[in-house]
Amino acid sequence: MTTSTPQTDREEKRKAWQKRALLLLFLGPALILSLSIIVYPIINTVIRSFTDPATGGFSLMHYEYLFTNRIAVADIWYTLWITVITVALSVFIAYLLALYLRFSGSRIAKFIGTMYLLPRFIPGLVAVYAMKVVISDSGLINRLTLLLPEASALYNLKPGLLFNPRGIILMNLWFNIPFATMIIVAALSGISDSIIESARDVGAGRARIFLQMIVPLSIRDVMIAMTFIFMSNISSFTTPYLIGENFPQMLGVFLRKQFSNRAYERAAAISVLIFLFSSVSAIVYIYTNLKEKEWEKG
Amino acid sequence: MSQTVVRPPQIRRALGKKRAGGLAILFAFMLFFYGPLLYMFILAFANSYNFPAIMPNEFGFMWWDYVFKQPNTLVSITNSFLFAVCSTALSFVICIPAAYALARFQFTGRKLVMFLFLLGNAFPKIGMYTSMGIIFYKVGLMGTFMGVLLIHMLGTMMQMIWLPAGAFRSVPRHLEEAARDAGAGPLRTFFKVTLPVAWPGIAVALLYAFIGSLGESVGTLFVGLPQWRTMMTEMYGVILDFPATAGAVFALLLIIPNFVLLLLMRKYIGAETMAKGFKMS
């Protein structure tokens, strides 16, 4: 330790300034970018959603439209309904698949364990197209049923999955089951075999081990998976745009329509609504990342 | 363990049932997740695929010719790679220093800075694109190269901050200190020690940024069309208007870059870590 002389004081101050200048140099460009393409647009959107385009003054007209207009209300309910079903079905199936992947040591399980990661690298548009070729009314399924005897009930089956909610939900399952499985498998891998064995040793049955051990230890990650699936499906665009119907439409397609009609204030209000619907997952995402980064630091 | 171990019949039956269950799961899984993709690949090489044939009546490259003769195909491929290269390179230059600062410096307001960066990933992209588009309209960036580039950078930026920050943090400090003790300046230490050790993490981030930009569709559709078309925005039209076989060709074109890049990068990462880091939604 040096004694505090005017000279070392000045030296330290210079060092502190140097560090601050360096930080500014390092962080400045990225901060400017994030302020201009993330923060400012979000704030601007919130303000615009409360603006009367004619006068530029404050107005609730766009929210009034969203919650009273027949089409808008139908679209909002339709979106919520499809999203909730998607979340429930994909998490349910993913949980079963994850249980199988975690607790069956078979080679088949290991094989599926590598194969389920791949769909995440397939662009969404491509997946929708591939599914469409199979499930359209003159697609593969229909052609296969033409091979059956004519008397058969399934002969010339038209799946009827395009341009209705069933097709959208089916496609959503394709996208979300791998993601949910990945999160749940990670949670289940955290439960060690020895804990389960010791529970079995003291006489716990399969059902009890499942309900009192496996479920409580994985429920947190299941909830996280649910919030993220909710967020990505409440705002989905590509699937409903390509295989959805004309009315009702999902919010993403409705938003696109308003945006390309240059009804920017109304588009802003729909965006704010989507932001609100995804606020839970946004908070989870930001909170866990800030916390984990803090924890890693040590 | 040898195959010839004699098992009591009940055990054998139970094992058989288990295997049958596993096979059923495997069958359903492959059918749902890979069946449609596989079928589409086959259709891409069909010259004719008439109702009610299940397999193409004739194989060939006829529809590849057709797709490449479309005036927009080559333009859109060029644009896709142009945006991917530019957005990845620019966000590399802008975000790597920020990632390093977040990993190595303690300062007041660090949490706030992290919060500002996290915000870009926290909300659905379609809302973010609309928000950007509203401003672009005001400042005349709609339908411009710069506008589309910024849309792509929203995604690439996130990749180039968090993964590299983690990579920098995992570089042992004593390595850097040893280099400094041996007389290397800060810049030399960074380029000779820190960067090489952190490189695998940064390479993964570059890969994800690039693939993410190639796959960006909604934002480009909102802001770029009709002046700037990419392969992804073309695909919307292809799905709605082209014959099934031509659509399959185009879809295959969209997957090829991802798989080439993934194969090239395999030495850096296992499949699992790769998929885990890959951004959702």
Does B1 map to a domain?
no
Please indicate whether, in this complex, the C-beta atoms of A285 and B35 are within 8 angstroms of each other: no
Residues B83 and B19 in one domain: no
Say yes or no for a CB contact (<8 Å) between B36 and A127.
Answer: yes
**Identity of the residue numbered B237:** G
Chain A residue at shortest CA distance from B160: A30
CATH code (residue B181): 1.10.3720.10
Domain for residue B178, yes or no?
yes
Q: Evaluate whether residue A142 is within a structural domain.
A: no
The enclosing domain of A271 has a CATH number of: 1.10.3720.10
Do B72 and B13 reside in the same domain of the chain?
no
Number of domains in chain A: 1
**Does residue B75 belong to any structural domain of this protein?**
yes
Residue B235 domain-assigned (yes or no): yes
B95 and B189 part of one domain? yes
Q: Which of A38, A179, A275, A294 to mutate to test the interface with B (most CBs of B within 10 A)?
A: A38
Same domain, B161 and B82: yes
My answer on whether B71 and B159 are in the same domain is: yes
Chain A residues within an 8 Å CB radius of B119:
34, 38-39, 42, 286
Judged by a CB distance cut-off of 8 A, whether residue B154 touches chain A is yes
- Answer yes or no: do B104 and B115 share one domain: yes
Minimal-distance CA residue of chain B relative to A127: B37
- Based on the fold, state whether residues B44 and B98 are members of the same structural domain: no
Crossing angle between the packed helical segments A70-103 and B9-33, to the nearest 10 degrees: 140
How many independent structural domains does chain B possess?
A: 2
Question: Do B96 and B216 fall within a single domain?
Answer: yes
Backbone angles phi, psi at B59, to 5 degrees: -95, 155
Q: Please compute, for residue B14, the number of CA atoms within 13 A of its CA located in the half-sphere on the CB side.
A: 5
Residue ending a domain, among B62, B77, B93, is B62
Is the domain of B110 the same as that of B203? yes
* Residues of the domain holding A241: 32-121+169-297
pLDDT tens sequence for chain A (298 residues): 445 577 788 888 888 888 889 899 999 999 999 999 999 999 999 999 999 999 999 999 999 999 999 999 999 999 999 999 999 999 999 999 999 999 888 899 989 988 888 788 899 999 999 999 999 988 999 999 999 988 888 898 888 899 899 999 999 999 999 999 999 999 998 888 888 888 888 888 888 888 988 999 999 999 999 999 999 999 999 999 999 999 999 999 999 999 999 999 999 999 999 999 999 989 988 988 888 655 444 3
Neighbouring CB atoms inside 10 A of B148's CB total 30
- Domain-located, residue A247: yes
Q: Looking at the structure, do residues B32 and B71 belong to the same domain, yes or no? A: no
Give the whole-angstrom CA distance, residue B98 versus residue B187.
16
Q: Structural domain of residue B263, as residue ranges? A: 63-277
Selected residues 174-193 of chain B with any CB under 8 Å from a CB in chain A: none
**What is the ipTM, given to two decimal places?**
0.90
Q: Which residues of B touch A271 (CB under 8 A)?
A: 126-127, 130-131
Nearest CA to B117 out of B72, B86, B156, B143 is that of B156
Is residue B2 a part of any domain in this protein? no
Confirm whether A151 is domain-assigned. Answer: no
pLDDT tens-place values along chain B, 281 residues long: 444 555 667 676 777 777 888 899 999 999 999 999 999 999 999 988 888 888 998 899 999 998 899 888 999 999 999 999 999 999 999 999 999 999 988 888 899 999 999 998 899 999 999 999 999 999 999 999 999 999 999 999 999 998 899 899 988 888 888 988 888 888 888 898 999 989 888 988 999 999 999 999 999 999 998 899 999 999 998 888 888 888 999 999 999 998 898 888 776 665 555 555 544 33
In chain A, what are the helix, strand and coil shares in percent, each to the nearest 5? 75, 0, 20
- Asked if B240's CB is within 8 angstroms of A278's CB, the reply is no
pLDDT at B279: 40
